[in-house]
Structure 1
Amino acid sequence: MAIAHPGHSKIYTTDTYATRSTSLADNYFVRTGDAAKWAKAYSDRIQKNLDAGKTEFEITADNASYPPSISGIQNGIIAYAINQMTWTTDKAAVTLNATGSAKSFTFTAEYASKSPEVSLYGRSITLKDNIDVNYYMEMSDSVFEHDAYLEFKIGGQTYKLNASDAAEVNENGKTLYKFSCPVNAAQMSDTIETRIVIDNKTEEEYLYSVKEYATELLSKSNEYPEETIKLVKALLNYGTAAQNFFKYNTDKPANAILSDTDKIVAAADFAAYKAVIKTDSANSQSNGLTYYGSSLICKSEMTVRHYFMVNEGCDINNYKFSYVNADGNEVSLTPKKASDGVYCVDINGIMARNLNSNYACKVTGKNKACIFELDYGPFSYSQKVINSGNSSDELKNLVNALYWYWYYGYRN
């Protein structure tokens, strides 16, 4: 009415006007469906702008040549009908607001973030410095606009990996995101509880284990090289040996799926891996430091730990510790207190393929003169275990199983 009769516009906006109209829901053309038909004529032009991602745009009215008292009214009704329609693009839902005038329509568009999509593509096991169970996920770009992460629970520990920290890999033309859960040898039978969380909401949950992965592979043994099958069996025996030594989850041995013959762990020959320990004098204690011994830590990663005793009145900070890594680079080591007067240094992250390698660990004093040189590796420790009358059968079985795990997987 205000468009058709401009002189009367004021009375339709005054607070005292008793029958003010606030909606076009009961408009004649809206009720008959004509307004929806008129609006549909603009659908393709609107959609083209939305697909281009425009947030503001204008479309010339088809009735722009009509008198404004007609086109202005009709286009207001058409705009109302357009606003009742559902609009989307292939990327997002759209909230569209249309305003009609005598000669054109103006639009503002707000694009909602597309719902994040994530799904499991596959899994694998990586045997490097640790045992990793890898999850390969397909994720839409919108996942990274949210607080999204994978959570792993195993053995009472929880690991949280943000989507933004996942490694990007390409598989058969697909972009996948790799999330890895570390597992130590004794946990091969443990179920890994995995869940995908987006904005504090659990989207998917999975249960898996190293043992389950091995079972799937062995069930298709005819599809894999013989050496691969031997490695998987050796891996399961290593896991079981670790369970027995650490007295962990022994009622669910990792190698339960193997035959009695395959469960037998043969004695390994560690003769070639004897440790070599050099000192600057026959009495190393004259330097205030004594080599105390070494150990092997078999968790999710392999660590050689050396212990040293500091004489009373001497300061551990007066000594420098280092070792030469597999790449030939010298790496500094930081001593940690193990007990009163005893300190240790760790050579961490020893790759499975390097279990047969010795690492030259050097200790120097204030004058930078070498006090100790230890040529020592995981199998040096293993040789000591085998030759010691004090070693338990469980520990001997563990180092033997570790040897065959290396032998079938990495000796070449």
Structure 2
Amino acid sequence: MNNHVGWKKTTAFIMALTLVAGNMPANVGGFFTVGTGIVATAVPPSENNSGILFENASIINSWTSGDCTVTLDSEGTLTVSKNEGSGNGAMADYGSAADRPWHSISSDIKSVIIEDGVTTVGNAAFALFSGLNSVTIPGSVEMLGYRSFYSCNLSSLHFDTRTNDLTLNVQAFKTNPFTTTDITPNNLQYVPINNSNAEPASLTADALKNGNIIIKGVSIVYTPVEAKAPTYEENGNIAYYVGTDDKYYTYDETTSSYTEIDLEDTVIPKLEMQPSMNIVVDSSKMDLNFYVPIADDYSISDYTVTYGGEDQTLSEIQLSNKNYGVFTVKCAAKNMTDEKQFVIKNGDTQIFSENISAAGYLKQLKDHSTYGPMVKSMLRYGAAAQNYFGYKTDDPANSGIEGYGLDTLKELKIDDNSPSQVQYSQAFDLQYSSYYGMNMTYDYDTSLLIAFRITGSYEASKAELEEKFVSETYEVTYEKDNTGNFIIVKVANIPIKKLGEPVFTFGGVDVKATDYLARIANNLEKSDKLRDLCRGLYAFYASAT
């Protein structure tokens, strides 16, 4: 077993905690829920997911073409993208259509996507694509090769806004059915390649089909729009620019370039209300569940969240007719004072940031009339775990909590009515193994471990234990320890409130986690740190019941 101490040591229990920054959502419930818990938080976030799935076309083939990668998906779309970190985005040239690696599936191509960053479309790259009806040439493309779109079936042709010139070699669009009115935008101008100083003329279908021309770039004047911070009453916006082409842009100072965006991408949704938090102690795990309120007219996909610098996946849930995105992170008792930054963004714009720790939140509730004593017991237990494991002892979870110092654990009286070793052995009545001792895990979950020394064969001992130690309530596993001399029966994930309930009963003798804790808490042969750990956990359990 990898997550328990030796059988002469006990372990720290894990508590269940749901946590987020801010106040409770309206009508969700009290700050601290004991017993039934908040229904919404009792269900794992994955079960609250709407279950809507989207089937995407799968990539079925790919090729390298110069500085680009060309991929084919199952819907017949050919996509050209610039290879990251190498080259200038130019595709390879091909002597004829038959020379390109995707020629055999030419008739199956329904769509061609040229991604921004591609600078050159190679000779004959997309010639003879009879199923290709329309294409968009991005602003990054500076060269269309000889017969690059020769003899396709193009009836629609669009050129994205560009400030650089675009050179078309001979017959780039020859033998396509589009007319001049099918070209957008309709204000493009060109000059012949062999007379680049000529007066620009309006672009026509014939000029495109014949090629050997330069489509002139457009000079755009950009007017800045300042950023505005969102409030809880209205949306804000990020800084952006409006071009004389009536489009919207962001500006990158490092590259001195403008990037076109949708206007809606500049809008920062109002928060409407702060992220919320509540605490649940029904579980056997310590979960930090964060609730991100989703503004009206926005969806969960409009938000990105990080916790401690790690990206989090939001699951959708509705509380009191309000939509939230929920994510869960794990925590152990000794980590209660670990402070991590919780950040919410809309796009690249940060709309919320706060440093969060379990202990910090709990201390806000220490004087609550109903839950105060339990909160203080949780914090004291967290400090006992820190002390036992030697973790951040200079920042104890119970600092500033009067009357709940670690010294008060020595004053606690915990009655030890646990069965003796002999009583357990007689009650278990085993033939192929003998009872040795108990332990508890101290990682993320709370599990009781019972060790049995193998006295017969391993197979016979395991079969006997599997037959006797059965639970309808908990998951039970049976594993050989590292020495090979013991089998460990593990009762997994016992809720804190049920530590005092039997997990097994044999001949009137109950097996309970609290009996184990009480026995260690009163054993003067154990270290002070270990006794404090068990007493702190027992006291926390008692305050929750």
TM class by smaller structure: 0.5 to 0.7
SS of residue matched to 2:360:
helix
C-alpha displacement of 1:135: 1.6
Match of 1:307 in 2: 451
| Paired residues of 1:185 and 1:242 also in contact (CA < 8 A) | yes
Contact 1:241 1:401 in 2 (8 A): yes
Maintained 8 Å contact 1:309/1:342: yes
The correspondence for 1:169, drawn from 317, 323, 326, is 317
Q: Secondary structure at the match of 2:441?
A: strand
User: What secondary structure sits across from 1:381 in the alignment?
Assistant: helix
In the TM superposition, what is the alpha-carbon distance from 1:240 to its structure 2 partner? 1.1
SS at match of 2:364: helix
Q: Which amino acid aligns with 1:137?
A: V
- 1:343 to partner: Cα distance: 2.5
2:376 maps to a residue whose letter is K
Write the distance in 1 (CA, Å) between the matches of 2:202 and 2:533: 80
Aligned twin of 2:276: 122
Change (3 A) 1:308 1:132: same
Q: Is 1:137 aligned to residue 281 of structure 2?
A: no
Matched, 1:348 2:492: yes
Partner letter of residue 401 of structure 1? G
Q: Which amino acid aligns with 1:176?
A: Y
Q: Structure 1: how far apart are the matches of 2:348 and 2:463?
A: 50
Q: State the alpha-carbon separation in 1 of the partners of residues 330 and 267 from structure 2.
A: 27
Local SS of the residue matching 1:248: coil
Please identify which structure carries the higher helix content: 1
Q: 2:340 aligns with which of 188, 192, 206?
A: 192
Shift of 1:180: 2.2
Q: 1:404 to 1:13 in 2, by over 3 A?
A: closer
**Cα 1:323/1:162, change in 2 over 3 Å:** farther
Checking the alignment, whether the CA contact within 8 Å between 1:117 and 1:139 is kept in structure 2 is no
Deviations 1:355-408 (A, max 9, x none): 21121178xxxxxxxxx9973222111122134332222222222222221222
- The higher radius of gyration belongs to 1
Which is richer in strand? 1
Cα 1:205–1:13, aligned 2, differ >3 Å: closer, same or farther? closer
Cα deviation, 1:193-215, whole Å, max 9, x if unaligned, reads 44568999998654211121122
Using CA pairs below 8 Å that are at least 6 residues apart, which structure has the higher relative contact order? 2
Change (3 A) 1:318 1:301: closer
**Aligned 1:356-367 pairs, distance under 5 A:** 356-360=500-504
Moved more, 119-128 or 295-304: 119-128
Structure 2 residues not aligned, in runs of 5+: 1-178, 181-189, 204-243, 249-259
Amino acid in structure 1 at the alignment position of 2:280:
T
Question: What corresponds to 2:512 in structure 1?
Answer: 377
For residues 436 and 288 of structure 2, the distance between their equivalents in structure 1, rounded to whole angstroms, comes to 36
332-341 or 249-258, larger mean C-alpha shift: 332-341
Contact 1:124 1:135 in 2 (8 A): no
1-structure distance, mates of 2:427, 2:268: 64
CA 1:280–1:351: 2 relative to 1, 3 Å? closer
Corresponding residue for 1:405? 540
**Residue 365 of structure 2 is aligned to residue 217 of structure 1:** yes
Q: What is the alpha-carbon distance in structure 2 between the residues aligned to residue 381 and residue 115 of structure 1?
A: 59
Q: Please say if residues 344 and 352 of structure 2, whose CA atoms lie closer than 8 Å, have aligned partners that are also in contact.
A: yes
* Deviation, structure 1 residue 149: 5.6
- The answer to whether the 8 Å contact 2:462/2:478 transfers is no
Q: Which residue identity is paired with 2:534? A: V
Secondary structure in 1 matching 2:537: helix
Q: How many Å apart are 1:181 and its aligned residue?
A: 2.2
Partner SS, residue 254 of structure 1:
coil
Q: Does 1:292 align with 2:436?
A: yes
Give the whole-Å Cα distance in 2 for the aligned partners of 1:386 and 1:14. Answer: 93
The equivalences for 1:9-408 within 5 A come to 21-22=200-201, 84-86=245-247, 114=265, 121-127=275-281, 128-139=283-294, 143-144=300-301, 150-152=306-308, 162-163=312-313, 166-195=314-343, 206-218=354-366, 221=367, 224-225=368-369, 227-260=370-403, 264-265=408-409, 266-272=411-417, 274=419, 277=424, 279=426, 284=430, 287-311=431-455, 313-315=457-459, 317-321=462-466, 323=469, 328-329=472-473, 331-360=475-504, 375-408=510-543
How far, CA to CA, are the matches of 2:500 and 2:530 in structure 1?
A: 18
Structure-1 separation of matches of 2:442 and 2:345: 31
CA distance in structure 2 between the partners assigned to 1:345 and 1:281 by the alignment: 13
Measure how far apart 1:294 and its partner are. 0.5
Identity %: 18
Question: Which residue in 2 is equivalent to 1:92?
Answer: none
Cα deviation, residue 302, structure 1: 1.5
Any conservation in 2 of the 1:270–1:380 contact (CA below 8 Å)?
Answer: no
Please tell me the residue identity of whatever aligns with 1:130. K
- Tell me the distance in 1 between the aligned counterparts of 2:443 and 2:512: 16
1:169: how far off?
3.4
Q: CA deviation at 1:111?
A: 7.5
**Take 1:297 and 1:344, find their aligned partners in 2: how far apart are those partners?**
12
8 Å Cα contact 1:151-1:196 kept in structure 2: no
The one-letter code matched in structure 1 to 2:492 is N
SS at match of 2:330: strand
Counterpart CA distance in 1 for 2:363 and 2:428 is 54
Asked if 1 retains the 8 angstrom alpha-carbon contact of 2:286 and 2:330, the reply is yes
SS at match of 2:392: coil
**Distance in 1, Cα, partners of 2:266 & 2:312:** 18
Q: 1:112 to 1:230 in 2, by over 3 A?
A: same
Aligned equivalents of 1:290, 1:347: Cα separation in 2: 18
Q: What residue identity is the alignment partner of 2:479? A: P
Task: Say if 1:234 and 1:405, in contact at 8 Å, map to a contact too.
Answer: yes
Conserved 8 A contact 1:304-1:347: yes
Preserved contact between residue 117 and residue 143 of structure 1 (Cα < 8 Å)? no
Q: Distance in 1 between matches of 2:424 and 2:486?
A: 18
Displacement after TM superposition at 1:124 (Å)? 3.2
